[in-house]
């Protein structure tokens, strides 16, 4: 069931991504959006849209019983001095801040 949920969430993430965006699985239960030419305000809007879509979309177990999942999202904007690793690290820190603050929320990296 966990794998099925990951597949369904991946489809939902792709639905919220724009044509120029890239979305993919980054780790076990982590996905990564790359949003070219998008500042943090635009990224937060997309993250909130994604969070709301996932939360409102019912998933189903093998017996057809509906349940809901939530996502926590971390947003980081490319800053002077960043490289790919530091950008992803800052987004990951924001993600864990969202989880620690109660989950099902968006947090922005400083």
Q: Which residues are marked as active site?
A: 29
Which tokens hold the place of 80?
């002077």
Q: How far apart are CA 92 and CA 104, in angstroms?
A: 15
């Amino acid at each position: 069931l966990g794998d099925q949920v990951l597949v369904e969430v991946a489809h939902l993430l792709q639905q919220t991504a724009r044509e120029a965006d890239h979305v993919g699985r980054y780790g076990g239960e982590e996905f990564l959006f790359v949003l070219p030419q998008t500042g943090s305000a635009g990224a937060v809007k997309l993250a909130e849209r994604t969070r709301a879509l996932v939360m409102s979309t019912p998933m189903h177990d093998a017996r057809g019983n509906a349940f809901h999942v939530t996502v926590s999202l971390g947003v980081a904007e490319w800053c002077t001095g960043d490289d790919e690793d530091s950008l992803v690290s800052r987004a990951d820190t924001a993600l864990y801040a969202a989880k620690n603050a109660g989950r099902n929320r968006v947090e922005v990296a400083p």
